[in-house]
Structure 1
Amino acid sequence: MQRLVRRATLLITMLLLAGCSSVEQRSGAAEETARRFLQAAANGDGQAACGVLAPSTEAEIDAPCAEGIVDEALTAPSDQAETQVYGQRALVRFADDTVFLAVFPDGWRVVAAGCEPRGERPYDCTVQGG
């Protein structure tokens, strides 16, 4: 019986550690996508920035996307970021910007950027999907 309890405890511990690792990996991937997006937009590489936008967000950018996204004058990401993952959604806060992301079959995509908090009201975003 003790052997069974030890094995069950070991299995539960391994599953918990695997779950934490998964959240950390997802969080890191979301932050990396947000960072790539903002850096590309700030550097004037509209094609790279549009490449990580969610389809509905890209559709809202003035055509062509590669020019329209650069016109939004998004700032480069700060060195520090706070990332929160909520299931299939993520929020990445940089010093001067907040980016919202969602998981798609090919990975994280930006659904809104250039977002500023407004207290109890929804964020005000310069780039967002419909």
Structure 2
Amino acid sequence: MLAVFLTGCGASGARVDGARDAGRAFEQALASRNYGTACDLLAPETRAQLEEDEKQACAKALEGQELPVSGAVNGAEVYGRQALVRADGETLFLSQFTGGWRVVAAGCTPLEDKPYRCVVKGG
């Protein structure tokens, strides 16, 4: 996934705004403990993987993930149909789908010897 971010092209302001807004909406849903809305903002594969791993519906599974809750989204970088959104204490990875931007990985923090470790991610 990281290779896509490193090789992509820059994006228009509207696409950057869209990715940033989706990341912000996801963070706000977590902050308000509205896990159903947060699940709606997950990419289909990510949602399915979370439900499979936790053996329960998305909202309940997401509640137990101990994701950092950010008060602010600090920026977004868009490369093709992929985006990286930085929030206080974590990074989100998003992909653009027909219905808009969706979170493919959340609770991501950089590691010294690997690109990122993510709490929630697709398979």
Q: TM-score, normalised by structure 1?
A: 0.78
* Structure 1 unmatched ranges of 5 or more: 1-19
| C-alpha deviation, 1:76, in angstroms | 2.7
Question: % of aligned pairs identical?
Answer: 40
Higher helix proportion: 1
Contact between 2:35 and 2:59, CA under 8 Å: does it hold in 1?
yes
Q: Report the CA distance between 1:40 and its aligned residue.
A: 0.9
Aligned to 1:5: none
Q: Which residue of 2 aligns with 1:37?
A: 26
- The structure with more radius of gyration: 1
Question: TM-score w.r.t. structure 2 length?
Answer: 0.82
How much does 1:23 deviate? 1.2
Whose relative contact order is higher, 1 or 2, with alpha carbons under 8 Å and at least 6 apart?
2
One-letter amino acid of the structure 1 residue matched with residue 86 of structure 2: R
Match of 2:44? Answer: 55
Quote the residue 2:15 is aligned against. 26
- Structure 2 unaligned segments of length 5 or more: list them: 1-9
List per-residue Cα deviations over 1:31-62 (Å, max 9, x = no partner): 11111112212322110000010011001112
Aligned residues: 110
Structure 1 consecutive aligned stretches of length 4 or more whose deviation exceeds 4 Å: none
State the Cα RMSD in Å. Answer: 1.6
TM superposition shift of 1:73: 2.3
